[in-house]
Amino acid sequence: MTTQTALTIGQDAPDFKLKAYPSGEYSISQFKGKKNIVLAFYPKDDTPGCTTEMCAFRDDISQFNEANTQVFGISCDDETSHKAFSEKFSFKQPLLADVGGEVAKKYGTYQDAKGYASRKLFVIDKAGKIQKIVDGMPTNSELLDFVKGLK
């Protein structure tokens, strides 16, 4: 049984370092003082809901960039799976490979029985604090309105 703590608005976002497709490693701390972050946990690469969500981010990525916000998709799939998914749909946002679900556990989204993360989204401000938590798939216009209001 995995012990998970429910995160709340205003607390520090748990930091991590994960490999990503198409390249590099990312952490929350590397964006402190620089950019807001949208961290979108999703269950599985190349499934209907996950494809819809990641394609929506792809389509609006320039607006998130203009709002000084880094978007990440994150699932328990590995980099090989992320590569196939990303190339199939021409994603512009990095997909983080949380193999084993360690980051999903820190964020309280890991589903032990299924072996993957549930769909949950976190907006993290430039100070590294959680400012919004959404179960499911909010619209990008809601997210963009929210991040534009962050300092």
Would you call 50 a catalytic residue per the annotation? yes
Closest CA to 136 of 25, 49, 19, 31: 49
Contact yes or no for 31/71 (Cβ under 8 A)? no
Contact yes or no for 39/124 (Cβ under 8 A)? yes
Q: What whole-number distance in Å separates Cα of residue 29 and Cα of residue 105?
A: 18
Match 């962050």 to its residue by tokens: 150
Residue 22: asked if its preceding bond is cis (omega within 30°), the reply is: yes
Q: What whole-number distance in Å separates Cα of residue 15 and Cα of residue 7?
A: 13
Among 38, 50, 104, 121, the active-site one is 50
Contact yes or no for 41/120 (Cβ under 8 A)? yes
Looking at the annotation, which residues are catalytic?
50
